[in-house]
Chains A and B, each alone.
Chain A
Amino acid sequence: MLDFLQSASDGILFGATYALIGIGFTLVFGVMHKLNLAYAAASVGGAYCGLLIVKVAAGAPAFAVFFGAFLAGGVLGYLVYLTCFHFIPVSNPLAALMATVGMLLLIDEIIVHETDGVPLNYPAMFDDVMLRVGEFTLRGDLLMVFVVSMVCMAGLLALLYKTRLGLATRAVSQQAVAAQLCGIRVGRVNAMTFVVTGLLGGIAGAMIGASVGTLSPLLTTPLTIKGLIVTVIGGLGSIPGAIIAGLLVGGFESVLQQFRGVTERDLYVMLLLFVFLVFRPGGLFAPKGGRD
């Protein structure tokens, strides 16, 4: 029982990073009704860019690396928007989708090339802190990952629900034509969505690096798949859904890793996806109507 609780709580804390990745997929889908398959790769790319800070200033604090990843993620998000969406006609949605697949592979190849495929150490914070309640422990670095991710989500929700920028974003996602007639530049809102999700992605990548201890190009594909699973389970376009599904998938895979081993774990995650697709295809929080 203790093992179960321990692995579940570790997994839920780590699942916050899945939630961030899921939000990135779901937000772009909600606003543009398109999938950005390069998102998880760009997030890992952002995390790698954060490491450049250590290269320039050896011994830079972990915090600076995370912040660098955050900013680089935003820049990469904008680049993905420019290359995969901005110049590709809306009337050809498949072209944009394929462009994001190309971008995913391109980022992957750049990382492999630049690092010779060798995993790099990633700094963490509070990794020597351990909270104990009897046998049960909470790792300090995982707690940090969880708190940072939650703060980012809270910031995103505040942006979306409390500011006019967020309102404009939601207006475009619900009724793009009418939004134009309210003076909103749809292209700008789309670009902003990519920058904001990119910032979140950079943080997610950095937090994954911090909790695993290393970054490797092998991360991009599984992370893309986990992000998509989280998006589907949460309900395409639903942010609360992505958050809950992220924590759920994190806890679920950690428990199965504990009891069934690391190679078997993702089998069950896939099965979970199919259970949802069969019994609740709209996800946990299928967005209500009102979209065009």
Chain B
Amino acid sequence: MALLELKGVSRHFGGVRAVDGLDLAVEAGQIFGLIGPNGSGKSTTVNLITGLFALTSGSIAFDGRDFGALPTHLRLGRGVARSFQNIRLFGQLTVWQNLWVAQNSPADHAKRGFLSRWLGGQGDVREEISQLLEFSGLAHKQDELAANLAFGEQRRLELARALATRPKLVLLDEPAAGMNNEEIGLLRDRILKMRAQGITVLLVEHVMELVMDVTDRIAVLNFGQKIAEGTPSEIQADAAVRKAYLGGETA
């Protein structure tokens, strides 16, 4: 059974059908790509899955249970985390503290009592946080304020913070935007490492080299509807996809 299953999902803003009758099934352990021209509804889909937008119609199931109506923090509790296209770090907290905040995730609630969770010190999470710092190559910057980091470092911190909530599924919203080739290569390695650790990834991305390289399966959106789905090589050969990207509008 699919880890994440969207059935007939729609979100309308007034007369605009940002997402319209979308069906999507992401299997556990997959790296699933979601691509499409600008304005095709990719980010809206991510916001619907994390609960930042309410569904107009349709249903979303995660891990076999419906969760289309849950508030955001409870969806996180089921194991869904994300990074943002426009970076949303806690700018006036240090790198280390940004990861410490995420240690409040519901996964931790089961592990720690109320008092030790809220009033506890930093001691009991050091190990986990240093692993995340290692993973994202930010160990030497741990006491820097997040606002003072370079752009690429901020993106890495976003990813690390999403992982700090111990998710089953991570939604990456254009993680490679603004990165150079070397950084994209490192990002690629990290995404593959996440899959190796058993984390399912939904990758929304414009950088096609990256998408074609790492994904197991790809869905293509245009005007809020799915126009194609398949393996990377199937998608590259698909006529409708070529038309959506090269035809009517700019990619």
Contact = CB atoms under 8 A, between A and B. Distances in A.
Contacts of A290: 90-92, 145, 147
Contacts of B50: 181
A183 B106 contact: yes
A164 B76 CA distance: 18
Contact of A168 (B101, B120, B165): B101
A162 B121 contact: yes
Interface stretch (A13-21, A41-49, A169-177, A258-266): A169-177
B119 A165 contact: yes
A218 B219 CA distance: 67
B103 interface: yes
A180 B75 CA distance: 10
A170 B81 contact: no
B170 to A, nearest CB: 11
A177 B47 CA distance: 11
Interface string A140-179: 0000000000000000000000111101101100110111
A183 B104 contact: yes
A183 B102 contact: yes
Contact of A179 (B81, B82, B91, B101): B101
B100 interface: yes
B91 A164 contact: no
Contact of A289 (B84, B119, B147, B164): B147
**Which one of A182, A184, A290 has the greatest number of beta carbons of chain B within 10 Å?**
A182
B89 interface: yes
Contacts of A113: none
A176 to B, nearest CB: 10
A288 interface: yes
A177 B85 CA distance: 13
A175 B90 contact: yes
Contact of A184 (B81, B101, B161): B101
Contact of A182 (B84, B147, B165): B165
Contact of B121 (A163, A168, A178, A287): A163
Given A174-B93, A177-B52, A165 B118 contact: yes
B77 interface: yes
A292 interface: yes
Contact of B91 (A162, A163, A165, A175): A175
A170 B89 CA distance: 12
Contacts of B102: 182-183
B59 interface: no
A287 B145 CA distance: 14
Interface residues of A, number: 25
A185 interface: yes
B97 A167 contact: yes
Interface in B179-236: none
Contacts of A292: 88
A196 to B, nearest CB: 12
B73 A163 contact: no
Contacts of B72: 180-181
A167 B118 CA distance: 9
A171 B88 CA distance: 11
Interface in B108-154: 108-109, 117-121, 145, 147
A178 B84 contact: yes
B63 to A, nearest CB: 17
B105 interface: yes
Interface string A277-288: 000000000011
A164 B106 contact: no
B90 A170 contact: yes
B91 A174 contact: yes
Contacts of A183: 73, 76-77, 102, 104-106, 108-109, 165
A165 B119 CA distance: 6
A182 B120 CA distance: 17
Contacts of B93: 167, 170-171, 174
Interface in A215-248: none
Given A181-B76, A183-B108, A184-B101, 15 more contacts: A163-B120, A167-B93, A168-B104, A170-B93, A175-B88, A177-B88, A178-B161, A180-B72, A181-B73, A181-B81, A181-B82, A181-B162, A182-B101, A184-B104, A289-B91
27 contacts: A162-B121, A163-B120, A164-B118, A164-B119, A164-B120, A165-B119, A167-B97, A167-B101, A168-B104, A170-B90, A170-B92, A174-B93, A175-B90, A177-B88, A178-B89, A179-B90, A180-B76, A181-B81, A181-B82, A181-B162, A182-B164, A182-B165, A183-B104, A287-B92, A289-B91, A289-B147, A290-B92
Interface of B: 50, 52, 72-73, 76-77, 81-82, 84, 88-93, 97, 100-106, 108-109, 117-121, 145, 147, 161-162, 164-165
The 3 tightest CB contacts between A and B, nearest first, are A290-B91, A183-B105, A178-B88
